[in-house]
Every structure is written in structure tokens, then in C-alpha cells.
């Protein structure tokens, strides 16, 4: 899953408004950010198999650190603890929201990936909905839209903020469509680098979206 991961980021921000949206954007892709780095470093491994699944050509045969159940849980706790420490107040809520945002990545990946997510030694899980683009693509967009809807209801906007916000959501959907129907992947290094850059740029854009929302008045 790609853009669908941002649904929980929006919902997480709606739940704990003291956390910047860009932090939530990093949280929901934290596993993939590290995956990109570890793939570029040659530590986690993937190969491109054209036509493997309609939704993805990536054979993710070795990613025990970032995408195993234990790895995901550890990264969720680590990220949640770091942000809670930085938060200073309402730390329990911040920890819970950020850790849940990180772990939501694993749950959504579980739905679309082939069985490549390690549960424990030798046992891997994945429901494989990437096999059917007509199922996986709407799922991405539904997750994104549901999160966005919760966000708009809970996070007050400055004047024009909601218009800008829905423009941003449309941009995210367009990025997903480009990924689904654009030119196929040709190199692993290229794929990992593109993912890394995309996650960073989108988190930056989320920081700009934060500027279009009203300051919170003492709430969480």
C-alpha cells in the first residue's frame, strides 16, 4: 500500500492535534522510510518481477527488520516514545497516536502484500489483494478519503484551508494513480530512492497543510 497509508495519518492528527501532520506522515511511512534505506544499503532485499501482481511488481522476499511483526511493533514503540518525549505534555496520548500510526502501516500492508510479512521465523503473512488492482486501488483511495474526512471534521481550518486540504488529497490520489498506471519499475535502487524522496516531499507538503489550520485552543 502507498497513498492509503496517509488515511491513518490524517485520523491520527484528528485524534491528537498537538502532533504536527508532517510527523504523522513520517509515522505512517516510517517502516517504508527505513525499508528504502536498508534496501539501498543492501541489507533488506527485493527484486522486480514484471507482472508479479497487478498492484505491484516487487518481490519483497527479505525484509525481516522493517516489515516483520516484531520489527513493526518495535519501530512503533520507538517512534511513539521519541515523539512523546519531544511532546512534553499529554505524552500518553501522543505516544499512543504515533505508535498506532506507525503500526497501521503493517496492518494495511498485510491486506495488500503477498505473504512476505514475517510473523515469526519461517511463517509469513499477507492477504495479497495487490493481485487485483480493481480491489487494491479503491482500497487505497477509500483509506485516504476516510482519514481525510475525519481530519476535516476534527481539525478547524483557517479561511480557505479546507479547499487547500482537498486539493492536497486530490494530489495524493493523483500520485497513487500515476504509481498504479505509470511506467513500470526498472531498477531497485531507483524504486527505493523514489520512495524515499516521495515520502520526504509529501511530509514536507503536509507541514505546509498544517499552516492552513487554525491554532488549537488548549485542546489535545
Task: Give the interface with Zn ion as residue ranges (CB under 5 A).
Answer: 32, 109
Nearer to Zn ion, 5 or 13 (CB): 5
Task: Give the Cα separation of 140 and 82 in Å (integer).
Answer: 28
Q: For Zn ion, give the closer residue by CB, 5 or 17.
A: 5
Pick between residue 4 and residue 161 the one whose CB is nearest to Zn ion: 4
Phi and psi of 168, rounded to 5°? -65, -45
Distance in Å, CB of 18 to Zn ion, minimum: 27
Smallest separation, CB 106 to Zn ion (Å) = 8
Cβ neighbours of residue 110 closer than 8 Å, sequence gap 6 or more: 117, 125, 126, 127
Judged by beta carbon, residue 32 or residue 44, the one nearer Zn ion is 32
Question: How far is residue 213's CA from residue 168's CA, in Å, rounded to a whole number?
Answer: 13
Q: How far apart are CA 141 and CA 51, in angstroms?
A: 22
| CB 105 to Zn ion: min, Å | 6
Nearest-approach distance from CB 167 to Zn ion, in angstroms: 26
Amino acid at each position: 500500500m502507498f497513498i492509503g497509508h496517509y488515511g491513518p495519518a490524517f485520523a491520527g492528527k484528528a485524534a491528537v492535534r498537538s502532533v504536527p501532520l508532517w510527523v504523522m506522515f513520517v509515522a505512517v511511512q516510517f517502516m517504508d522510510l527505513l525499508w528504502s534505506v536498508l534496501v539501498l544499503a543492501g541489507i533488506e532485499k527485493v527484486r522486480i518481477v514484471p507482472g508479479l501482481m497487478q498492484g505491484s511488481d516487487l518481490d519483497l522476499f527479505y525484509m525481516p527488520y522493517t516489515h516483520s511483526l516484531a520489527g513493526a511493533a518495535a519501530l512503533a514503540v520507538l517512534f511513539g516514545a521519541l515523539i512523546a518525549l519531544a511532546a512534553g505534555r499529554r505524552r500518553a496520548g501522543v505516544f499512543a497516536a504515533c505508535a498506532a500510526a506507525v503500526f497501521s502501516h503493517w496492518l494495511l500492508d498485510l491486506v495488500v502484500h503477498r505473504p512476505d510479512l514475517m510473523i515469526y521465523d519461517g511463517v509469513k503473512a499477507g492477504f495479497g489483494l495487490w493481485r487485483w488492482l480493481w480491489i487494491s486501488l479503491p482500497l487505497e483511495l477509500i483509506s485516504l478519503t476516510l482519514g481525510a474526512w475525519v481530519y476535516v471534521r476534527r481539525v478547524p481550518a483557517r479561511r480557505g484551508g479546507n479547499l487547500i486540504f482537498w486539493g492536497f488529497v486530490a494530489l495524493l490520489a493523483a500520485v497513487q494513480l500515476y504509481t498504479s498506471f505509470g511506467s513500470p519499475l526498472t531498477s531497485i535502487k531507483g524504486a527505493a530512492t523514489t520512495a524515499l524522496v516521495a515520502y520526504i516531499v509529501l511530509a514536507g507538503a503536509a507541514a505546509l497543510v498544517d499552516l492552513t489550520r487554525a491554532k488549537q485552543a488548549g485542546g489535545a
